[in-house]
Structure 1
Amino acid sequence: MSFMNFFRRREPEAANLPSVQAMAGEAGMFAGMTDPNLLEFIRGGGSALTEAGLSISPKVAMRNTTVLRCVSLIAFSIGMLPLHLQRKADKGKADDHPLFRVLHRRPNGWQTAFEFRSLMQQRALVDGNAYALIVRSGRRIIQLVPLASKDVKVVQRPDWALEYHLKRNGAETVILPQSEVFHLRYGMSDDGITGLSLVKQAAEAIALAIQTEKAAARLFRNGMIVGGYLKHKERLSKEAYDRLKESMAENEGAENAHRWKILEEGMEAEDPGHSGRDSQAIENRKFQIEDIARPFGVPRPLLGVDDTSWGSGIDVLGQFFVRYALNPWFEAWQQAIERSLLTEAEADLFEAKFNAGALLRGSMKDQAEFFAKGLGSGGHQPWLHPDEPRDWMDLPRRDDLPTAPGQQTQGDGNEPS
């Protein structure tokens, strides 16, 4: 079907209607070349037009500061936390396994672990899916190469196995088997194969926020912002008007702020203040921030919005963020690694784990009390080794520490009895 035939009026034939909907969806069916929604559809890269009158593509959505903050906060958290391959038997680091280095330190030749995981997490949030090519040397995984989500199409074969159609250089398509692609997807899905894009699901809220932002920008560009009023009971003489205008011009600028002004011929000054409409506009913009952040699970104070939860409650909010916003992604990463990067035999012995302890810890006072009780302070049964808190605090291990309170430091065996 040619490009022009797509816009030509016709009877809805049963054979042609599904192909039209598959290409554009119900919101992408236009009356013709003059349809005003067509330009927005093309600008949005094929994204459906929202009720607010905008097509929200991932690139457009990321220009909104709330979306940018939510995505960067989650992506950077995933990127900065240590990700280790560990043994299931003793929970020790499996640093002798080739995959340990790829996950923890060097995923490929040009990215750090932080950059790789942040990019993959960003794409999983915005597009719903993130892909990486698995590069092997023999059976060893030596690199993970990120692939642009827009260039990958997932297809399920008749035998239920997946294959990934990768478009290279804008034309050539390479079919990759499931064993060669690391696929991280958002947990919610329509088909169980690809994840839902949070940006697309929140498109209406994002579009409304962008339009509200544009309205505020147009007000500053085209509107008249009055600093105050000068009232006169009668008609002001030309001489007084000229003197007053010259006086006001001399007092313009930040360096002349809050200086007193001499009024002419009995004039009165009034401050216009803020109108109810101004307050409502500010309130609407705050509501849009909260409405966009809701699908991402990011609390208001972490978005820089004024909130009474600041102070002692911020530790609890941080824990809330980890438990309800990050924990599902921890599990998505860990299980995707087990599915795509470990063999069945390896999965019985090893597991990937994020160390979120640094984000879940309370204040230094709370940590000190926790460590003291764990080491046996106050008559508690000790259940921590002294080296464990030192590891958590990034301190080196010491050989002169007892293993429990009351236990004497072990010497070299030459002490007098």
Structure 2
Amino acid sequence: MKFFDALVAMITGRQDSSRPEVSNVTYSDSVMDAFGVSSAGTTVSATTAMRVSAVAACVAKISGAIVNMPIHEYSLEDGDIPGRVARSDTWYLLNEQPSPNYTAASMWEGVSMAQLLRGDAFALIRRRMNGSVREILPLPWGAVSPMRTVGQGVRYYVNLPEHGISTWFDPADILHFPGLGFDDTTMRSMSAIQYGARSAIGNALAMDEYSGKFFEGGAHPSIILSTDKKMAPGQVKDMQEAFARRHSGLANAHRLPFILTEGFSAKEISLSAEDAQLLEARKFQVLDVARAFGVPGFMINESTGATSWGSGIESIGRAFVQYTLQTWLRKIEQELNRKLYPRNTRRFLEFYREALYEGDIAAQGEYFRSALGGPGAGDGHMSINEVRRIKRMAPIPGGDEVYRAPRDQPQPASKAAE
């Protein structure tokens, strides 16, 4: 009966006066973190975080850059100098269609977003009878449960009913792309949200909500109505409600004239958004979110202050690849190479990072001039046909030679004496 009474009290809201009322309950940081509650009191998850424009822009920049880089296959056939391999079935799976239901762009975008927002990304390797890969199926983050076995091995339980999958898989059949701070015990990683952006995103969500409520009342949330006459509490409440019905909200903004009678006067005491420094605080949160994701503010259209990343698309692109993308690319490359190739095959996969710099025609032209060599540039290290191949142009006769600058010939002794 005690349980039933407690249940009824909880549903109806009635409390037993003989029992002490519990208030001001506090929770530890670990409990708050487990439920994704930020310091601002807002719940931050992968879904709510993407409602913040700065988060969406950072994720789009990183995942978009990865999508735009093709993955090439190389072979170490001549010593340690890699040579690009002709397009194979593996190349097609990674660059065009990993699965009949997905394009490669969709898969890599999903992998990158899962790493940034969830902490880990997964894909199932489906093989033919001869062991070759026939399909790479992207897996939702929540459908995969990595677990350690008694012998310190790892197995992955995949529950994907829509694909008829509900079983255990060995690590060789699962591509596991980790995020930040991989934990060997739980076999999980932290997302950028958990690692350093939860408070920044929580503050941004709180300010978004505050801004919405600020302007919800027609940007006049605090007005004093005063009179020298005495009013009963009921009259005060009726006046407040009547004023709110007629003049608050965007639907009533500038619709009815503001008329006061009976000796009433009105005075606005609210501060504007600029005076309350709301806009400045929001700008700071944009930079704070960008800092956590490793994306410079100017790349997500936050132009406050100057950048030290250099000028021009080439400098920006190279710095972004070097300081932000490189870590994510290496994690993907290493997982692909160790799962798709047996050891000591002398083959490997690598993202073609130069694809991000091809938009800067001037910088690209300068690079090719230096690579081809010539008067004033010294020896070249690329042939004309190699450059044409990069630009997807047909080779030309005699275009395979690499320029070497003529060397000064020693002069005869008689010439030198003269």
Q: Normalising by structure 2, what TM-score?
A: 0.70
Question: Structure 1 residues 187 and 49, CA, compared in 2 at 3 Å: closer, same or farther?
Answer: closer
Which residue is equivalent to 1:140?
Answer: 132
Quote how far apart the aligned CAs of 1:222 are: 1.3
Task: Tell me, yes or no, if structure 1 residue 184 matches structure 2 residue 172.
Answer: no
Quote how far apart the aligned CAs of 1:400 are: 4.7
Partner of 1:283, secondary structure, is: helix
Which residue is equivalent to 1:158?
Answer: 150
In the alignment, which of 67, 75, 80 is matched to residue 87 of structure 1?
75
2: CA distance, partners of 1:175 / 1:401: 55
Unmatched tracts of structure 1, length 5 or more: 9-24, 30-36, 227-251, 254-273, 408-417
1: CA distance, partners of 2:71 / 2:280: 41
Which residue is equivalent to 2:324?
Answer: 325
Quote how far apart the aligned CAs of 1:216 are: 1.0
Which residue is equivalent to 2:109?
Answer: 118
Amino acid at match of 1:395: M
2: CA distance, partners of 1:59 / 1:320: 29
Task: Tell me, yes or no, if structure 1 residue 149 matches structure 2 residue 141.
Answer: yes
Name which of structure 1's ranges 190-199 and 56-65 shifts more when overlaid on structure 2. 190-199
1: CA distance, partners of 2:379 / 2:42: 62
2: CA distance, partners of 1:190 / 1:182: 16
Question: Structure 1 residues 211 and 401, CA, compared in 2 at 3 Å: closer, same or farther?
Answer: same
Tell me, yes or no, if the aligned pair for 2:379 and 2:404 is still in contact at 8 Å. Answer: no
Which residue is equivalent to 2:206?
Answer: 211
Quote how far apart the aligned CAs of 1:302 are: 0.7
Quote how far apart the aligned CAs of 1:313 are: 4.5
Amino acid at match of 2:160: R
Quote how far apart the aligned CAs of 1:221 are: 0.8
After superposition, where does 1:264-413 map in structure 2 within 5 Å? 277-278=274-275, 280-307=277-304, 308-309=306-307, 312-346=311-345, 349-360=346-357, 363-379=360-376, 380-401=378-399, 403-405=401-403
Which residue is equivalent to 2:49?
Answer: 61
Tell me, yes or no, if the aligned pair for 1:98 and 1:140 is still in contact at 8 Å. Answer: no
1: CA distance, partners of 2:318 / 2:275: 36
After superposition, where does 1:8-23 map in structure 2 within 5 Å? none
Which residue is equivalent to 2:94?
Answer: 103
Which residue is equivalent to 1:75?
Answer: 63
Unmatched tracts of structure 2, length 5 or more: 1-5, 11-26, 222-253, 256-270, 406-418
Tell me, yes or no, if the aligned pair for 1:183 and 1:340 is still in contact at 8 Å. Answer: no
Name which of structure 1's ranges 133-142 and 195-204 shifts more when overlaid on structure 2. 195-204
Amino acid at match of 2:374: S
What are the Cα deviations for residues 115-148 of structure 1, in whole angstroms up to 9, with x where unaligned? Answer: 1111111111111111111111120101110111
What are the Cα deviations for residues 230-253 of structure 1, in whole angstroms up to 9, with x where unaligned? Answer: xxxxxxxxxxxxxxxxxxxxxx99
1: CA distance, partners of 2:203 / 2:365: 47
Which residue is equivalent to 2:35?
Answer: 47
Tell me, yes or no, if the aligned pair for 2:386 and 2:400 is still in contact at 8 Å. Answer: no
Tell me, yes or no, if the aligned pair for 1:83 and 1:352 is still in contact at 8 Å. Answer: yes
Q: Normalising by structure 1, what TM-score?
A: 0.70
Question: Structure 1 residues 295 and 406, CA, compared in 2 at 3 Å: closer, same or farther?
Answer: closer
Tell me, yes or no, if the aligned pair for 2:373 and 2:404 is still in contact at 8 Å. Answer: no
Partner of 2:113, secondary structure, is: helix
Tell me, yes or no, if the aligned pair for 1:131 and 1:146 is still in contact at 8 Å. Answer: yes
Tell me, yes or no, if the aligned pair for 2:125 and 2:173 is still in contact at 8 Å. Answer: yes
- TM-align CA RMSD: 3.3
Q: How many residues align?
A: 326
2: CA distance, partners of 1:210 / 1:96: 46
Tell me, yes or no, if the aligned pair for 1:28 and 1:48 is still in contact at 8 Å. Answer: no
